[in-house]
Amino acid sequence: MIEYWDGPVLGIETSCDETSVGIVEGKRVLANVVSSQAQLHRKWGGIVPEAAARKHTEAILPVLETALEQAGLTLDQIAGIGVTNRPGLVGALSVGVSCAKALTYALEVPLVGVHHLEAHVLSTWIEHEPVFPNVCLLVSGGHTELFYVSEPGEYEFLGGTLDDAAGEAFDKSARALGLGYPGGPAIQKAAEGADPTRYDLPRGLSDPNLDFSFSGLKTAVLNLVRNEGAKLDVPSAAASFQETVASVLVDRAVYACEQTGARCLTVVGGVAANAALRRRLQEKADAQGLSVALPSLSLCTDNGAMIAHVASWRIARGERDGAEMRTVAVESLGRRMQEDGRREAKHQ
Ligand code: KG4
Ligand code: ZN
């Protein structure tokens, strides 16, 4: 059970390249409006921080108005406010945080700053009955991390990427294959109906493992493009890349369940929207007798509803932030034990 604040809570997300406002009442999503800047950043093949901040400034008020309309609410009916204040691009975060502070001041309702990764980790439980403990695999543009979640707010870091994040590998490989930005959806689309066994690509670290490495895979895709030239079967290269990433992610996540004894597995963040990953995960979890809970696609990529969801729970616990709330560029989530202690604790 997760206890929520009474009344509609508004969540603002501007940490990266999506301007989003969501409104939830308990677990009910009343609105979730996302304005993506993907089109803007496409021409550069990645996110340009100054351009992102400027675009957030333009988009935030129209997105807020649309969210209120979608929820059928007026501002004075909002009972609490949450905003992503960490981690993320500082200029981009500041836009959401300034907006949240102004609203809180005007409406005289509670405000909390939300950790973006915690919002992803708990996003599954907006639509599913919560199961704790669980293992959560967080896979986004900037993160690939495995957590043991004993209860909301208690995150034990089990392992993560030593180099590129899974989403980053999708984005960079898509660029190498000439498939555009953002890479995840582009690779998924190109791979449809193609042969995932056509090219043999490296899995990074050896199995079993709780850590990840995707830089070798990314380099292998670059080499493939260079060596094969016009002969390259791009759809099959995309499919081979996608299956390699999905298989590594699923194997590590299932291994994390074995190591911790958790019987429930959840995958969150932008890459969790990937269809091949979702299919593979369900198959392997079924075979191992594990339950799987996944957020629907609109809650996988960055969105305001997941921010509002965490805010509603944290405000109900009595947490409050004030006008002094700051933005933070880098902040990890959860406890990180020493490598040895961690493994010992898990092997006992
Ligand atoms: O969580 P998110 O929206 O933003 C961050 O916090 O990073 O994740 C964005 C990442 C991008 O790298 C994007 O390519 C990837 O998620 N992504 C996907 C898919 N949709 C988005 N990756 C694989 N398959 C998808 N369908
Ligand atoms: Zn995210």
What DSSP string describes 237-295? Answer: HHHHHHHHHHHHHHHHHHHHHHHH---EEEEESGGGG-HHHHHHHHHHHHHHT-EEE--
- Whole-number Å distance, alpha carbon 70 to ligand 1 midpoint, is 25
Could you say which ligand is closest to the alpha carbon of residue 188? 1
Q: 179-199 as b/e, with b when 16 or more CB fall inside 10 Å?
A: bbbbbbbbbbebbeebebeeb
Within 13 Å of residue 265, how many CA atoms lie on the same side as its CB? 30
What gap in Å lies between CA 209 and CA 212, rounded to an integer?
A: 8
pLDDT score of 344: 41
Helix axes 183-191, 166-176, angle to 10 degrees: 60
User: Measuring CA to CA, which residue among 75, 78, 69, 114 is closest to residue 6?
Assistant: 78
How far does the centroid of ligand 2 lie from the alpha carbon of residue 221, in Å? 25
**Using a 6 Å cutoff on CB, does residue 183 contact ligand 1?**
yes
Q: What is the pLDDT along the chain (348 residues), one digit of tens a residue?
A: 899 999 999 999 999 999 999 999 999 999 999 999 888 887 787 788 888 899 999 999 999 999 999 999 999 999 999 999 999 999 999 999 999 999 999 999 999 999 999 999 999 999 999 999 999 999 999 999 999 999 999 999 999 999 999 999 999 999 999 998 889 999 999 999 999 999 999 999 999 999 999 999 999 999 999 999 999 999 999 999 999 999 999 999 999 999 999 999 999 999 999 999 999 999 999 999 999 999 999 999 999 999 999 999 999 999 999 999 999 999 999 987 655 544 444 333
Tokens 């059928």 belong to which residue? Answer: 72
CA of 139 to the centre of ligand 2 (A): 8
Ligand 1 site-directed mutation target among 32, 217, 271, 307, most atoms within 8 Å of CB: 271
Give the atom of ligand 1 at the shortest distance from the alpha carbon of 174. Answer: 14
* Alpha carbon of 141 to ligand 2 centroid (Å): 7
Measuring from atom 7 of ligand 1, which residue has the nearest CA? 141
**Is residue 94 a contact partner of residue 327, using CB atoms and an 8 Å limit?**
yes
Could you give the 3-state DSSP secondary structure of residue 25?
A: strand
Ligand nearest to the CA of 144: 1
Could you identify the residue written with the tokens 């995958």? Answer: 267
How many other C-beta atoms lie within 10 A of the C-beta of residue 112? 26
Task: Calculate how far, in angstroms, residue 197's C-alpha sits from the geometric centre of ligand 1.
Answer: 23
Q: Is 271 in the pocket of ligand 1 (CB under 6 A)?
A: yes
Can you list the alpha helix ranges (DSSP code H) found in the chain? 38-42, 49-71, 90-107, 116-123, 166-176, 183-191, 215-228, 234-260, 275-288, 297-300, 304-316, 339-347
Between the CA of 103 and the centroid of ligand 2 the distance, in Å, is: 23
Residues within 5 Å of ion ligand 2 by Cβ? Answer: 140, 302
Check residue 105 and give its pLDDT.
97
Nearest CA to ligand 1 atom 2: 270
**Residue 112 Cα, ligand 1 centroid: separation in angstroms?**
26
Our answer on whether the CB atom of 141 is closer than 6 Å to any ligand 1 atom is yes
Is residue 167 lining ligand 1, measured as CB closer than 6 Å?
yes
What is the atom index within ligand 1 of the atom nearest the CA of 181? 14
| Span from the CA of 340 to the centroid of ligand 2 (angstroms) | 30
pLDDT score, position 58: 97
Q: What is the pLDDT of residue 337?
A: 63
Closest CA to 178 of 122, 224, 135, 147: 224
Q: For ligand 1, is residue 140 a contact (CB within 6 Å)? A: yes
Query: What's the CA gap between 344 and 303, in Å, rounded?
Result: 37
Measured in angstroms, how far is the CA atom of residue 323 from the centroid of ligand 1? Answer: 32
- pTM score above 0.75: yes
The span from the CA of 5 to the CA of 241, in Å, is 43
Kindly state if the Cβ of 84 falls inside 6 Å of ligand 1: no
The residue whose CA is least distant from atom 18 of ligand 1 is 184
CA nearest neighbour of 265 among 287, 289, 292: 292
